[in-house]
Structures are given as structure tokens and as C-alpha cells.
Amino acid sequence: MSDRTVTRADLAEAVFRKIGLSRTESAYLVESILEEICATIARGESVKISSFGSFLVRDKNERVGRNPKTGEEVPISPRRVTVFKPSNVMKERILAAHMARTEEGVLKAAE
């Protein structure tokens, strides 16, 4: 598994290379898209990106948790959380990439 993380700058660079906008325009486009996604989620609405996945807002009820050091019970207040649910297309792509890496590792080990 790779330790690499894709950043906003990486996304802007990809837009620059694939679409041909200037670097400034590419960075603005990426920033605008991410800002719209964040604003929509903050309003409590879901964001669905076809063939990628959905960002959903879920309400969590109050519950009792435990301090792992002391074992003391502590109430956890109700809150809203954002969750990501990948689409079936995304799941299939991830599985295919995993299988390709696994097969590649098996072939190298057999040599």
C-alpha cells in the first residue's frame, strides 16, 4: 500500500496537464469544487458524484463511552458526522487494482 497522499496541489496539477487550463485557473477550479462540496455538506445535504461515491451527513445519538486508561464512563454528546460511501464503480476499480498488485506480487515471488 502506498504512503502517498494526493493533495489539492496534485489535483490542480492534474487538471493543468489534462485539460490545459493555466495553473492558476486549475487551482481555482479545484478549490471551487471542494468549497462547493464542503458548503453543501455543512448545510446537511448529501453530495453524490456519479461513479465515485456519496458524502452523507449522519446524526449520531448520545451514547456512553469509556476512557481507555481509567475505564471511567463518559457521555459522548450527540453530533453530526460526514461519511463517505464509495460507488460500486469505485469499489470495482479498487478491487481490480488490488488484484493486479496481488498477481504481480505472486509472479515476482515465483521467479
Q: 65 and 13 share a domain? A: no
Question: Tens digits of per-residue pLDDT, 5-57?
Answer: 999 999 999 999 999 999 999 999 999 999 999 999 999 999 999 999 999 99
Mean pLDDT, the chain, rounded, equals 92
Do 29 and 3 fall into the same domain? yes
CATH number reported for the structural domain that contains residue 36 in this entry: 4.10.520.10
The answer to whether residues 60 and 84 belong to one domain is yes
Please state the length of the chain: 111
Q: pLDDT at position 29, please? A: 96
Whose cell is 445519538? That residue is 61
Residues 7 and 59 placed together within one structural domain of the fold = no
User: Is 1's pLDDT higher than 60?
Assistant: no
Q: Are residues 27 and 16 in the same domain?
A: yes
Q: In this predicted structure, what is the pLDDT of residue 109?
A: 65
Q: Is 55 left (phi over 0), alpha (psi -120 to 50) or beta?
A: beta
Q: What's the pLDDT at 58? A: 95
Number of domains observed in the structure of the chain: 2
Question: Which structural domain range is residue 31 located in?
Answer: 1-42
Strand partners, 80: 59
Do residues 38 and 48 both lie within one domain?
Answer: no
> pLDDT tens-digit profile of 52-95?
999 999 999 999 999 999 999 999 999 999 999 999 999 999 99
Q: How does residue 110 score in pLDDT terms, banded at 50, 70 and 90?
A: low
Q: What is the pLDDT of residue 83?
A: 97
